[in-house]
A and B are shown apart, each in its own frame.
Chain A
Amino acid sequence: MATSSVSKGCFVFKPNFKKRKISVPIEDYFNKGKNASEDSKLRFETYQLIWQQMKSETERLQEELNKNLFDSLVEFLQTSHSGLWKNSKDWSCEIKLREIPTAALVLGVNVTDHDLTLRSLTEVLQNNVTPYVVSLQAKDCPDMKHFLQKLVSQLMDCKVDVQSKEKESVQVIQKNVHYSMDSLSAWYMSVTQTDPKMPRKKRTSSSQWQSPPVVLILKDMESFTTKVLQDFIIISSQHLHEFPLILIFGIATSPVVIHRLLPHAVSSLLCIELFQSLSCKEHLTTVLDKLLLTTQFPFKLSEKVLQILTNIFLYHDFSIQNFIKGLQLSLLEHFYSQPLSVLCCNLPEAKRRIRFLSANQCENIRRLPSFRRYVEKQSSEKQVALLTSDKFLKEETQSLLENLHVYHKNYFLVLRCLHQFTSSLPKYPLGRQIRELYCMCLEKNIWDSEEYASVLQLLRLLAKDELMAMLQNCFKLFQSSSGKELGNTAKKIEEFLAQFQSLDAETKEEEDTSQSQSKGLQKTDLYHLQKSLLEMKELRSTSKRQTKFEVLREQVVSFVDSLVREYLLPPDTQPLHETLYFSSAHTLRQHLNAAPRIALHTALNNPYYYLKNEALRSEEGCIPNVAPDICIAYKLHLECSRLINLVDWSEAFATVVTAAEKMDANSVTSEERNEIIHARFIRAVSELELLGFIKPTKQKTDHVARLTWGGC
Chain B
Amino acid sequence: MAKLASELAKTPRKSVSLNMKNDPKITIDIPQCSKGHSSSDKSQLKNNDKSEFLSTAPRGLRKRLIVPRSHSDSESEYSASNSEDDEGVAQEYEEDTNEDILSQKIQAQNREVSAPVFRETPSKKMKREKTSHLVEKYFEAHSSSKVLTSDRTLQKLKRAKLDQQTLHNLLSKVSPSFSAELKQLNQQHEQLFHKWMLQLHLGFNIVLYGLGSKRDLLERFRTTMLQDCIHIVINGFFPGISVKSVLNSVTEVLDHVGTFRSVLDQLEWITNKFKEDSSLELFLLIHNLDSQMLRGDKSQQIIGQLSSLRNIYLIASIDHLNAPLMWDHAKQSLYNWLWYETTTYSHYTEETSYENSLLVKQSGSLPLSSLIHVLRSLTPNARGIFRLLIKYQLDNQDNPSYTGLCFQDFYQQCREAFLVNSDLTLRAQLTEFRDHKLIRTKKGTDGVEYLLIPVDNGILTDFLENEEEEL
Say yes or no: B345 contacts A597, CB within 8 Å.
Answer: no
Give the residues in chain B near A683, CB-CB below 8 Å. Answer: 167, 171, 347, 352
**In the assembly, what is the distance between CA of A597 and CA of B45, in Å?**
27
Say yes or no: A655 contacts B49, CB within 8 Å.
Answer: yes
Say yes or no: A20 contacts B228, CB within 8 Å.
Answer: yes
- A531 within 8 Å of B (CB atoms): no
- A396 within 8 Å of B (CB atoms): no
**In the assembly, what is the distance between CA of A594 and CA of B208, in Å?**
10
Say yes or no: A690 contacts B137, CB within 8 Å.
Answer: no
A-B pairs under 8 A by CB, number: 352
Say yes or no: B181 contacts A613, CB within 8 Å.
Answer: yes
Q: Name the residue among A591, A686, A704 with the largest chain B CB count within 10 angstroms.
A: A686
Q: How many residues of A contact B (CB 8 A)?
A: 117
Which of B1, B131, B147 is in CB contact (< 8 Å) with A641?
Answer: B147
Q: How far is the CB of B222 from chain A (nearest CB, A)?
A: 8
Say yes or no: B348 contacts A642, CB within 8 Å.
Answer: no
Which of A4, A10, A597, A599 is in CB contact (< 8 Å) with B248?
Answer: A10
Which of A15, A321, A622 is in CB contact (< 8 Å) with B41?
Answer: A622
Give the residues in chain B near A680, CB-CB below 8 Å. Answer: 171, 174
Q: How far is the CB of B166 from chain A (nearest CB, A)?
A: 8
Chain B residue nearest to A618 in the complex (CB): B7
Give the residues in chain B near A701, CB-CB below 8 Å. Answer: 153
Say yes or no: B231 contacts A619, CB within 8 Å.
Answer: no
Say yes or no: A12 contacts B153, CB within 8 Å.
Answer: no
- B102 within 8 Å of A (CB atoms): no
Give the residues in chain A near B57, CB-CB below 8 Å. Answer: 651
Q: A4-B235, A651-B57, A712-B134 are in contact. Are A638 and B85 (CB under 8 A)?
A: yes
Q: A590-B341, A641-B147, A643-B149 are in contact. Are A687 and B348 (CB under 8 A)?
A: yes
Which of A11, A29, A593, A706 is in CB contact (< 8 Å) with B195?
Answer: A29
Q: A561-600: which residues lie under 8 A (CB-CB) from chain B? A: 590-594, 596-597, 599-600
Q: How far is the CB of B257 from chain A (nearest CB, A)?
A: 15
Which of B131, B156, B199, B226 is in CB contact (< 8 Å) with A647?
Answer: B156
**In the assembly, what is the distance between CA of A1 and CA of B219, in Å?**
8
- B11 within 8 Å of A (CB atoms): yes
Which of A612, A647, A648 is in CB contact (< 8 Å) with B181?
Answer: A612
- B249 within 8 Å of A (CB atoms): yes
Q: A1-55: which residues lie under 8 A (CB-CB) from chain B? A: 1, 3-4, 6, 8-15, 19-20, 22-24, 26, 29-30, 32-33
- A658 within 8 Å of B (CB atoms): yes
Q: A635-B41, A641-B88 are in contact. Are A654 and B229 (CB under 8 A)?
A: no
Say yes or no: A710 contacts B134, CB within 8 Å.
Answer: yes
Say yes or no: B230 contacts A639, CB within 8 Å.
Answer: no
- B377 within 8 Å of A (CB atoms): no
- B40 within 8 Å of A (CB atoms): yes
**In the assembly, what is the distance between CA of A406 and CA of B367, in Å?**
78
- B369 within 8 Å of A (CB atoms): no
Q: How far is the CB of A126 from chain B (nearest CB, A)?
A: 19
- A693 within 8 Å of B (CB atoms): yes
Say yes or no: B11 contacts A625, CB within 8 Å.
Answer: yes
Chain B residue nearest to A642 in the complex (CB): B147
Which of A4, A332, A641 is in CB contact (< 8 Å) with B85?
Answer: A641
Give the residues in chain B near A663, CB-CB below 8 Å. Answer: 12
Interface stretch among A259-267, A475-483, A670-678? A670-678
Known contacts A643-B149, A682-B167; 10 further A-B pairs (Cβ under 8 A): A13-B230, A13-B231, A15-B230, A112-B329, A591-B339, A591-B340, A611-B178, A611-B345, A641-B147, A659-B51
What are 26 A-to-B residue pairs whose CB atoms are below 8 Å? A1-B350, A9-B240, A10-B232, A10-B241, A11-B233, A11-B249, A20-B230, A112-B332, A112-B333, A319-B333, A590-B339, A594-B341, A596-B318, A599-B209, A611-B345, A624-B7, A641-B85, A651-B53, A655-B52, A681-B360, A682-B167, A682-B359, A683-B171, A686-B355, A689-B357, A709-B134
Binding site for A on B (CB under 8 A): 1, 3-4, 7, 11-13, 15, 39-42, 44-45, 47-49, 51-53, 57, 60-61, 64, 83-85, 87-89, 91-92, 130-131, 133-134, 137-138, 141-142, 147, 149-157, 159-160, 162, 166-167, 170-171, 173-174, 177-178, 180-182, 184-185, 194-195, 197-199, 201-202, 204, 209-212, 219, 222, 226-236, 238, 240-241, 245-246, 248-249, 252-253, 281, 301, 318-324, 329-330, 332-333, 336, 338-341, 343, 345, 347-348, 350-352, 354-355, 357-361
